[in-house]
Amino acid sequence: MNSPGPTQLVRPSAIHLPSYRDALQRGWSADNVRGRAAAEEELAEIAADATAFLASKEDREAVGPPVKLPDGSWVPRLPGLVRWMWDGEFVGSINLRWQTGSAELPPHCLGHIGFAVVPWKRGLGHATAGLSLLLPLARELGLPWVMLTTDTDNLGSQQVITANGGTRVGAFNKPAAYGGHAGVMYRIELTTR
């Protein structure tokens, strides 16, 4: 284990995989809906073919398989990429997805960016730093703005988003595939950053 340092974004690779696998084994998952079941699926994917698992974390052409939503329905994959937040060990995951040729997203996609930090590293500024580090990549891809959503009671995520220039767009109800629960939507302008 390396000593903690400043938050970095790293492309998932074999050198980072043991720390990521440890987080999954401890019950963490970036999937805040399916939780432990999603962690177990990823552990099985890593055991079956770690190289393919790592390669799947960068799919700018959306050539990967369709995506299964929480209600069990399937939708076409969007172009996207995953970066792992790192401070000498795995801190969390942040992903960026987009629709080719448009800043808009299809209705089943809850935002351009999603992030999750392991419980034992929360409250240390990693999510705020990780989002700040990811925004220039979204701008490089030509996105003029990004949308992020969170649960109405997730004040930590709301603070991370506003600390990175997010403006609250308003409340919304998540699509039925996600349970139809209330959420909050934010927008971060990238052309002014």
Task: Outline where DSSP puts E strands in 16-166.
Answer: 58-59, 67-68, 74-75, 80-86, 90-97, 113-117, 145-151
Q: What is the pLDDT of residue 193?
A: 53
CA distance 158 to 113: 13
pLDDT of residue 178: 81
Domains parsed from the chain with CATH numbers: 8-143 (3.40.630)
Q: Taking 80 as the threshold, does the pLDDT of residue 128 lie above it?
A: yes
- Output the pTM of the full model: 0.92
Evaluate whether 60 touches 79 at the Cβ level (below 8 Å): yes
When the pLDDT of each residue in the chain is averaged and rounded to a whole number, the result is: 93
Q: What is the pLDDT of residue 35?
A: 84
Is the confidence at residue 188, as pLDDT, over 80? yes
Tens of pLDDT, residues 11-28: 999 999 999 999 999 999
DSSP lists the bridge partners of residue 189 as 145
Q: Using an 8 Å Cβ cutoff, are 121 and 87 in contact?
A: yes
Residues 152-179: what's their mean pLDDT? 92
Q: Mean of the pLDDT values across residues 31-45? A: 90
pLDDT of residue 70: 80
Which value, to the nearest 10 degrees, does the dihedral of the CA atoms of residues 25, 31, 34, 40 take? -30
Whether pLDDT at 48 is above 60: yes
Evaluate if residue 146 carries a pLDDT over 60: yes
